[in-house]
Amino acid sequence: MGLILGIDPGAATGVAAYDSGKLVELLTIEPFQLERFLRERAVASPSVLFEDSRLETRLWNARQKGAYGAALATARSVGQVDAWCSLIASLCADMGIPAHGVSPTVKGAKVAAPAFGRITGWTKRCNQHERDAAMVAWKFRNSVALKGRTC
């Protein structure tokens, strides 16, 4: 099956690695470190799955509708993440790494540390960015269908 990488883009970018379906690595890196992270793992012929905010149609929740400041902050944050999603897709294309965007809805809700441990078997400390990265790739961690496909 090989290496499957999950990425949760953001100012604190969560990354996860599954090797033959088993979660083996969780890290938090800055966006400028993405290229190095991918190049270091490219020798293992990985596939990348990243949470892609560009695939989501709903940007903010009902509580923010009347709050201009909150909606503006959300829009700015989503715009930054959209740019990082484009960067991930471009980096992967440049390196010949199959990459697939996963909408936040498909990824699912955030998972607290205790539940994450039960789901994945991960026993070490981790933060929400790392858990999100792992959950982006969770459904696809054993998938051979990802090989050879790109965004």
pLDDT of 82-132, one tens digit each? 888 999 999 999 999 999 999 888 888 999 999 999 999 999 999 999 999
Supply the pLDDT for residue 75: 57
Which of 102, 91, 87 has its CA nearest to residue 38?
Answer: 91
- For 36, residues 6+ apart whose C-beta sits below 8 A from its C-beta are none
What pLDDT does 35 receive? 95
Domains in the chain: how many in total?
A: 1
Which CATH number is 57's domain given?
A: 3.30.420.10
* Average pLDDT rounded to a whole number, residues 66-85: 67
In a domain, 88, yes or no: yes
Q: Which two tokens stand for residue 29?
A: 């890196």
Does residue 51 lie in a domain region?
yes
Identify any residues that bridge with 35 across adjacent strands, giving them in sequence order.
Answer: none
> Which stretches within 3-139 are classed as H helix?
34-41, 68-95, 104-107, 113-120, 128-138
Q: Is residue 150 part of a domain?
A: no
Q: What CA–CA distance (Å, rounded) separates 119 from 137?
A: 13
Residue scoring higher pLDDT (72 or 34): 34
Q: Give the domain extent around 67.
A: 3-138
Residue 114's pLDDT is: 96
**Nearest C-alpha neighbor of 126 from the set 24, 54, 5:** 24
User: Longest Cα pair distance anywhere in the chain, in angstroms?
Assistant: 49
Is a pLDDT exceeding 50 seen at residue 150? no
Residue 96 within a domain:
yes
pLDDT digits (tens, 9 = 90+) for 14-54: 999 999 999 999 999 999 999 999 999 998 999 999 999 88
Asked if residue 143 belongs to a domain, the reply is no
User: Would residue 10 count as lying in a domain?
Assistant: yes
Does 71 map to a domain? yes
What is the pLDDT, as a whole number, of residue 151?
41
**What CA–CA distance (Å, rounded) separates 149 from 151?**
7
Tell me whether residue 148 is in a domain: no
